[in-house]
Amino acid sequence: MQLLYGTGNPAKISAMKRRLADSNIEIIGLKDLNKEIPEVIEDGNTPLENATLKAKAYYKEYGMPVFSCDSGLYIDAIPDELQPGVHVRTVAGKVLTDAEMRDYYSGLAAKYGNLKARYRNAICLVIDEEHIYGAMDENMESGEFIITSKSHEKVKEGFPLDSISIDIKSGKYYYDLDKDELDQLAVEDGFLEFFKKYLVKL
């Protein structure tokens, strides 16, 4: 089955492809269609609401099975007004570049000390107008990790905060984990269970 992944982020597409390599699902991205990509206003209050907005918009535009994902970042011990939630990339109404994201969040860590954080993740799958499925389950959440003020020497586009994220269990920067461990962090097991549940039943 061919599925459109509703993102233009090549790093996210590659991670999803590797995690689904043993399935019969072929993943393509928005840029693979060589068509204009519609702008989707992500004004939902939860990751699931935003994932649903994107998936429905891309299905309407392209008329093929599509899924979209979204995340919210939740950080312990910072003021409520600084809590990013679904606005991970937007601060004070400004959409941040990857470099600006690293600077902003490393700045928070410099001010408040190493920050314990986690991602709440969601997915929406649109097969057709009658088959729309969404989930934001606990098994899709990331484990807790540390956001630090000191950036890794490497910089990779696509996952900008990975350069200042440290795995709590190993004490390693995300960039120093092996590829399988990184893919696990990028695509939690709950996403694989979601695809098995909803694609098998169709």
**Cβ atoms 20, 194 nearer than 8 A:** no
> Is 137 designated active site?
no
* pTM attached to this predicted model: 0.87
Distance from C-alpha of 176 to C-alpha of 24, rounded to nearest angstrom:
31
Range of the domain at 158: 2-200
pLDDT classification of 201: cutoffs 50, 70, 90: low
Q: What is the pLDDT of residues 54-98, one digit of tens each?
A: 999 999 999 999 999 999 999 999 999 999 999 999 998 899 999
Q: Which residue has the tokens 């937007």?
A: 90
pLDDT (0 to 100) of residue 83: 95
DSSP H stretches of helix in the chain: 10-19, 47-62, 98-112, 179-186, 189-200
Q: Assign residue 91 a region (left: φ > 0; alpha: ψ between -120 and 50; beta: otherwise).
A: beta
With 0-12 / 13-18 / 19 or more C-beta atoms within 10 angstroms meaning exposed / middle / buried, residue 34 is: exposed
Q: What is the pLDDT of residues 3-57, one digit of tens each?
A: 999 998 998 999 999 999 988 899 999 999 989 999 999 999 999 999 999 999 9
Name the active-site residue from 22, 70, 80, 128.
70
Task: For the chain, give the number of residues.
Answer: 202
What is the secondary structure of 78-112 as a DSSP string? Answer: S-GGG--BT-SSEETTEEPPHHHHHHHHHHHHHHH
pLDDT (0 to 100) of residue 180: 82
Number of domains in the chain: 1
CA distances from 202 to 2, 188, 196 (A): 14, 23, 10
CATH of the domain at 136: 3.90.950.10
Q: What is the pLDDT of residues 36-46, one digit of tens each?
A: 999 999 999 99
